[in-house]
Structure 1
Amino acid sequence: MGVTLTKAARTAFEITNELFIAVGSGIWGIAILANHGLKHNRFFGTSIIVSLTIASLLFAFRTNELCMPDRKKFIVITGCDSGLGFSLALHASEMGFSVLAGCLNLESEGACILASHQKQGLICFKLDVTQNQSIENAMQFIHDVLTEDKNNELWCVINNAGVMIFGEFEWLTNNLIQQQINVNLLGTMQVTKAISPLLRKHKSRLINVVSHCALATLPGLAVYGATKAGIYAFSDGIRVELAKYGVRVVSFVPGSFPFQSNIMLKQHDHSEEMRSAFTSEQEKFYGIYFKKYNSYLCAISAMIKQPGKIYMKDLYENFENALIAQHPKALYIVEPMRYKYYHFFFKYSPYFIRDYLVNKFIMMPAFERPEDYTEYDLY
């Protein structure tokens, strides 16, 4: 057994050493190793080394040229009233693209700010991703804009519209559950389906905004995480489907910026809806905990500013690469080092350690069982 292991280790070392030499020496290294292998009748091993070396060199020296922005290149973004969509619309316009910014409410403060940048190629249009008629109207608007000039091009579509509602799953009303599914998951699918003919025609790219919750769903965000994981899976599937038509599909995971987005702005209203739907048993069991939980969240939402561009350097560096790289990656993740550590341990730790780390990561108020609670006859 020991002899076998020693021989296997020696063989692995020789292969690694030859591969290192070949990569370091480039074409000459490949030629020398191939000649040496053929002379000593090591065809199989030599073929592996040569193949790995060529693949390594192609990867190391591949070029990823950038496509230059142009006002004739149009970017469609959903959910631009505030937060990430608002910021990406402004940034893409500043880069030199023309931007068609889909807004739920054209009278919202964010939409009005974006509309004031029309001279910089930024145009707002109404879009409710949960309404078929609104999507149809939006597609007609986009088609009309693109056909105004034969040189106009649909460069990219960014599915960003999203709703995030904090709350343990039992608390969420059917309305709050359905709202997240309709906007986040079905909305993304419906917009993608409607605009697919234009994506194919212009060989555009499609960027679907996912979330860290798609990679590791957090307590209190079970439904939100499920919708984002669904988008991630959806992107994986259509990336292969659309590639043969020249359409590139990217999953984009932005960083965390809770104080620069109003995605939690309606948390108080949502908590009131949850509380009003409680049964007497739930009111008794969750009362104190529910109050602490939502007081904590509402304090965060109260700190949210009015619509403004998110300040996050890594966000825009990754966004620009996804937008203008000739060969964009399939997945972009923007995350601080703290997130990297946590997500690494979330993925590779046993579940009892992972669940402990998840609770430490999210830092929500702890549950306290009411002292006067008695079990109810539920049925």
Structure 2
Amino acid sequence: MGALSKSECWEWLFLFNMGLNHIKLSRILQERERVSINKKKVIIITGCDSGLGFSLAQYAADSGFTVIAAFLNLDSKGAKEIKRLYGGYIIQIQLDVTDIKSIQSALQSMEHYFNKNPDYSLHAFVNNAGVMVFGEFEWQTPRLIQHQINVNLLGTFRVTNAFCPLIRQHKAALSSWSDGLRVEMAKYGVQVTTIIPGSFVGESNIMGTQIQNVQEMHDNFTKEQHKFYSDYFKRYNIYLSYITPPKDVHKLQDKSLYECFDGALLDNPPHPVYKNEPWRYKIYHFFFKYSPVFLRDYLIEKFMQMPKYKEDNRPENNKELSCICSI
């Protein structure tokens, strides 16, 4: 990587200042009217067993909304803790986003709830359920890959598809994944908002199965992969072992996260995207977007700070290798 020329340095300084001005302008534009909060406005949140969902369910209830919290397991620590703290004040339902029957059952429960409480309306539906597997792509088994797609992508599709009629009937603000969905639903009076909550892996159970995932990857390596990755695979997972899931579920202590959540729920109209990230992340993401490829790759490595593969271990015939992907 060569040194930047004087003209390139000025160009980077210009882009950096533009980025800061964009951030300032965004803050000014974020000041909007707020809708009122009351118990007749209902928020449904998926993935409340731990982490973000567990915290947002409590925050929304404390703010004055009626909250319906969906749990993968009603016997999970998160479900039991919310029941202990809130009793029936937070309504609990079971929902497995990978299971069509579970989704339909949850939908029927919601339809029954609103039929029984006709003066209540669905204010927001928060798609939050998700899983995470740390590991390089080659290490991950077909089952691990399929599970992530099944929960994080297809699960969101399934739940939103099933709940669309309910969402349309109540004209809710929807936290979801797609700009396309925002355009599609706008003609029905439904507002789609995306929240990027930031990183809090150490305070969530999203890595609760990482040890089992690592074992599965290791057990499915070929002899060549065991030889190629041995030391790197060990160092990589020792590094990750320090990011351990919490022993007890607890509410996240992040003021800016809840400010983002408030904005998505209360701004009239809401912004398409709300981000909760420190200044370091803002600067990194700005440069990720506008930097040349060689600098972007360097910044990504610095941002991730993962253990490096020792090139001395690389087989001689793999010293020079290109991978070409066509899109």
TM-score when normalising by structure 1: 0.73
- In the other structure, the counterpart of 2:250 is 308
2:228–2:313 Cα contact (<8 Å) kept: no
Residue 118 of structure 1 and its aligned partner are, at CA, apart by 4.1
Residue 171 of structure 1 and its aligned partner are, at CA, apart by 0.4
Which whole-Å CA distance do the structure 1 matches of 2:284 and 2:183 have between them?
30
Higher-Rg structure is 1
Determine if the alignment matches structure 1 residue 125 to structure 2 residue 82.
no
Say which SS state the counterpart of residue 259 (structure 1) adopts: helix
Q: Relative to structure 1, is the Cα distance of residues 374 and 74 closer, same or farther in structure 2, using a 3 angstrom cutoff?
A: same
Q: Relative to structure 1, is the Cα distance of residues 348 and 63 closer, same or farther in structure 2, using a 3 angstrom cutoff?
A: closer
Determine if the alignment matches structure 1 residue 147 to structure 2 residue 115.
yes
Which whole-Å CA distance do the structure 2 matches of 1:284 and 1:151 have between them?
65
- In the other structure, the counterpart of 2:33 is 65
Which whole-Å CA distance do the structure 1 matches of 2:84 and 2:281 have between them?
36
Q: Relative to structure 1, is the Cα distance of residues 311 and 240 closer, same or farther in structure 2, using a 3 angstrom cutoff?
A: same
What are the Cα deviations for residues 239-277 of structure 1, in whole angstroms up to 9, with x where unaligned? Answer: 111111111100110111222112122211111110010
- Give unpaired runs (5+ residues) of structure 2: 1-27, 319-327
What are the Cα deviations for residues 143-185 of structure 1, in whole angstroms up to 9, with x where unaligned? Answer: 1111112111111100000111111100000111011101011
Residue 207 of structure 1 and its aligned partner are, at CA, apart by 0.6
Which whole-Å CA distance do the structure 2 matches of 1:291 and 1:63 have between them?
49
Which whole-Å CA distance do the structure 1 matches of 2:190 and 2:313 have between them?
59
Residue 65 of structure 1 and its aligned partner are, at CA, apart by 2.3
Select which of 215, 225, 236 maps to 2:179: 236
Q: Which segments of structure 1 move beyond 6 Å, counting only runs of 4 or more?
A: 60-63
Matches within 5 A, 1:227-376: 231=177, 235-301=178-244, 304-369=246-311, 371=313
Residue 201 of structure 1 and its aligned partner are, at CA, apart by 0.6
Select which of 195, 199, 216 maps to 2:163: 195
- Opposite residue 106 of structure 2, the aligned amino acid is A
What are the Cα deviations for residues 118-159 of structure 1, in whole angstroms up to 9, with x where unaligned? Answer: 457301110000000000000011111111121111111000
- Opposite residue 134 of structure 1, the aligned amino acid is S
Q: % of aligned pairs identical? A: 49
Say which SS state the counterpart of residue 54 (structure 2) adopts: helix
- Opposite residue 151 of structure 1, the aligned amino acid is D
Matches within 5 A, 1:7-156: 64-119=32-87, 121-156=89-124
Say which SS state the counterpart of residue 33 (structure 2) adopts: coil
2:30–2:271 Cα contact (<8 Å) kept: no
Residue 236 of structure 1 and its aligned partner are, at CA, apart by 0.5
Which whole-Å CA distance do the structure 2 matches of 1:184 and 1:287 have between them?
30
- In the other structure, the counterpart of 1:54 is none
- Give unpaired runs (5+ residues) of structure 1: 1-59, 209-230
- Opposite residue 129 of structure 1, the aligned amino acid is V
Which whole-Å CA distance do the structure 1 matches of 2:88 and 2:75 have between them?
20
2:43–2:122 Cα contact (<8 Å) kept: yes
Say which SS state the counterpart of residue 147 (structure 1) adopts: helix
- Opposite residue 137 of structure 1, the aligned amino acid is S
Residue 61 of structure 1 and its aligned partner are, at CA, apart by 9.7
Residue 69 of structure 1 and its aligned partner are, at CA, apart by 1.6
- Opposite residue 199 of structure 1, the aligned amino acid is I
1:94–1:120 Cα contact (<8 Å) kept: no
What are the Cα deviations for residues 25-83 of structure 1, in whole angstroms up to 9, with x where unaligned? Answer: xxxxxxxxxxxxxxxxxxxxxxxxxxxxxxxxxxx899832112221211111100000
TM-score when normalising by structure 2: 0.85
- Opposite residue 334 of structure 1, the aligned amino acid is N
1:75–1:158 Cα contact (<8 Å) kept: yes
Determine if the alignment matches structure 1 residue 169 to structure 2 residue 111.
no
- In the other structure, the counterpart of 1:28 is none
1:77–1:89 Cα contact (<8 Å) kept: yes
Say which SS state the counterpart of residue 202 (structure 2) adopts: coil
1:93–1:120 Cα contact (<8 Å) kept: no
Q: CA RMSD in A?
A: 1.9
Which whole-Å CA distance do the structure 1 matches of 2:234 and 2:223 have between them?
15
Larger RCO: 1 or 2 (CA < 8 Å, sep 6+): 2
Which whole-Å CA distance do the structure 2 matches of 1:82 and 1:70 have between them?
25
Which whole-Å CA distance do the structure 2 matches of 1:182 and 1:99 have between them?
26
Say which SS state the counterpart of residue 307 (structure 1) adopts: coil
Say which SS state the counterpart of residue 300 (structure 1) adopts: coil
